[in-house]
Structure 1
Amino acid sequence: MSWRGAGKKSAVFFTCVLFVAAFISLYSRSLHEGTFVKNLLVASETTPRLFTNLDETLNYGSRPAVQTRTSWNAPIMWELMFDANFYDQKHHELNTSVAVTVFAVGRYLEAYLNTFLISAEKHFMLGFPVTYYVFTDLPGNVTKITLAPQRKLKIIQVERYSRWQDISMMRMKLISEVIEKELRYSFSHVFCFDVDQEFKGRFGSEALGDSVAMLHAHFYKLPKNRFTYDRNPKSKAYMSEGDYYYHAAIFGGKCQNVKTLADFCYLNIMEDKMNNVEALWHDESHLNKYFWLHKPTKLLSPEYCWDMLIGDTSDILIKRVLWAPKQYEKLRI
């Protein structure tokens, strides 16, 4: 036999060995994976699910006159869409706890804080552990109120800026700091509120989500070309288009997600300051930019933040939070 013939036979033999080895390897792996999948199926049948995606239980067709879901399938929460008891039960099973941040600086403390806190105790996340973090320049003027079990109030002293616009914008920095230092270790969720609001109806666990935005009551029915985004290309808040117009009076979510939002807004606000630019609606303009780039996983309908000056209430079956009457000439001095 020539050396070429021997070489061919050796090559064929070697190829066959490799093929057999590969076949054995694949067969063994398929047996292992089959056993793994079988065990996984058995485990899923015998072990109860710890958590149901609650938003999958929503009745999106219950409110045909309004939009109940975004183009990216995030729910827009309206009355009649959800089973409140079911949401509460599941969040109790998860040991959900909620922090609230609210800023009561200058005359806002005397004008609004007590109403905000007392009404929250009647309607906000009832039955869940809640801690209110009140940021104020006048900690000695915060009136003590009676809190339900598992509810606490903490006061954080802050600087009072000369302009209300600076107070509004700098809150993002303070929210980020308190989340990093404390909230992320103790709470599953955080909501950030303007103080000049009053709770009037249930604001419960159905509002919780990974990243929660608030539809602005004055804009939710308007065409997009009427939205008051920042149109200045020099600002980091500049937007030429968007999905909705969001209200910065209420936003929330998982602690880390809210921190990410606050960091985004604060850094962009500071970059604008270095360029002598101020966004049209300050932190709200930057918040809208954030939610345009990073879609919220849940939107709250205007039921959760309603202005009584709006005449058309046809969509509003329940007013959960109301804007307080504004007295800018007295408060913003």
Structure 2
Amino acid sequence: MNLLNVKVVTVVLLSALLLGVLYCYISQTHRFVSFQLQDLKADSRSAEVHPDSHEFHLVAPEHVRYKQPSITQGRTDVVSVTPWLAPIVWEGTFNPVLLDSIYKPQNISIAATVFAVGKYIMFLKNFLETAEQHFFVGFKVHIYVFTDRPKEVPQVKMATDRQLTVHSVPSSNRWQEISARRMELIQMLIEETVHSNTDYIFCLDVDSQFHGRWGTESLGGLVAVIHPGYYRDDRSRFPYERRPQSRAYVAPGEGDFYYCGGAFGGLMHEVHLLTKTCRFNFEADAKENIEAAWQEESHLNRYMWLNKPSKVLSPEYLWQDFKSRNPEIHIIRFSGVVKNYAEIRPNA
């Protein structure tokens, strides 16, 4: 090989080596930038919107007998699906035997949070006793009670695979602060305690009681409950936060339903994102001296408008005891009890 050929080969090899180094550099830089962009997108999304999540695959065991389903007969007095095709759960729209037979083999576990702060401790015994009778009976349930009066938590006999844990929290002179801190405390509970050993979590008001089944029909990725006070109203009458300065703002002509702050839930990671986002937005508002009209309920409604729930529970799942039952309410499963707010709220 003459000298010229050697030089050509050397130049080719050096060029190939340089191109290889340049390719590796560009590739690694692209990956780094991609990861950064993904992180930025995740951070921005956590404040408003997130992608759909995957739920358990529903597998029915063999030889389970139940009434034949129909697509031409059923409830005609109510709507049982949202415009984004999420089911709305009413009595007569599901088969409890079938659903329980699907979820029971999966050995799922359900957490429930309840806040009994100040004089609200008086409602806890009835809440716990009725939950034993109706809330996910036959499944693993862990109820977490947040209270500033741990010594007054009643002793309630609980069935096998059901347990109660008490978390002490400080009291407050304003019921609005108690309400607002729920998102923060639920977020911390998920991160520190239940994220690794629980499938679903429901967040419920203590001044309520169960009357009928609340079970596997309520399971979903992100679950909301329609407020009984507004489900027949035009959305112009919904008590959304209407000030554009607030991060809970819902503009006139926008919104779907008005959801309860006293009952919501879903898969653990979905509720974690909800509580984290609502807490972030609430605290950001507070720094600007803004408090949403209905505290965490306002922020929850903003969140649920953008992040559509995958399942919506009808007003059966949080009725109001002072209201007479409307014809479409065939059963009351859970309800807020009658009370005198002036007696139980520190600044009512």
TM-score bucket of the superposed structures, by smaller chain: 0.7 to 0.9
The whole-number CA distance in structure 1 between the counterparts of 2:76 and 2:133 is 30
- SS at the partner of 1:91? helix
Pairing partner for 2:210 from 199, 209, 219:
199
Instruction: Verify: 1:214 aligned to 2:260, yes or no.
Output: no
Tell me which amino acid in the other structure corresponds to 1:77.
Answer: V
The aligned length equals 281
TM-score normalised to the size of structure 2?
A: 0.78
Query: 1:143 offset after TM fit, Å?
Result: 1.3
- SS at the partner of 2:319? coil
Contact 2:146 2:168 in 1 (8 A): yes
Query: 1:67 offset after TM fit, Å?
Result: 1.1
Q: What RMSD over aligned residues (CA atoms) do the two structures have, in Å?
A: 1.6
Pairing partner for 1:100 from 94, 112, 115:
112
Q: Please list every run of 5 or more consecutive structure 1 residues that lacks an aligned counterpart in the other structure.
A: 1-48
Pairing partner for 1:154 from 153, 165, 168:
165
In terms of Rg, which structure is larger?
Answer: 1
Tell me which amino acid in the other structure corresponds to 2:133.
Answer: K
Larger relative helix fraction: 1
Query: 1:323 offset after TM fit, Å?
Result: 1.1
Instruction: Verify: 1:165 aligned to 2:176, yes or no.
Output: yes
**Match of 1:81?**
93
Tell me which amino acid in the other structure corresponds to 2:135.
Answer: F
Contact 1:269 1:278 in 2 (8 A): yes
TM-score normalised to the size of structure 1?
A: 0.82
Q: Please list every run of 5 or more consecutive structure 2 residues that lacks an aligned counterpart in the other structure.
A: 1-55, 61-68
The whole-number CA distance in structure 1 between the counterparts of 2:207 and 2:218 is 20
The whole-number CA distance in structure 2 between the counterparts of 1:59 and 1:286 is 37
The whole-number CA distance in structure 2 between the counterparts of 1:237 and 1:204 is 31
The whole-number CA distance in structure 2 between the counterparts of 1:253 and 1:227 is 24
- SS at the partner of 2:273? helix
Tell me which amino acid in the other structure corresponds to 1:142.
Answer: V
1:154-187 deviation digits (Å, cap 9, x = unpaired): 0001111221100000110000000111111111
**Match of 1:51?**
58
1:87-119 deviation digits (Å, cap 9, x = unpaired): 11111111111000000001101x200000000
**Match of 2:321?**
308
**Match of 1:179?**
190
1:205-256 deviation digits (Å, cap 9, x = unpaired): 1101110000000111111111111001111101011011001110000011
For residues 227-306 of structure 1, what are the structure 2 equivalents within 5 Å?
227-240=238-251, 241-306=254-319
Tell me which amino acid in the other structure corresponds to 1:139.
Answer: P
Q: Percent identity?
A: 42
- SS at the partner of 1:244? coil
The whole-number CA distance in structure 2 between the counterparts of 1:217 and 1:189 is 24
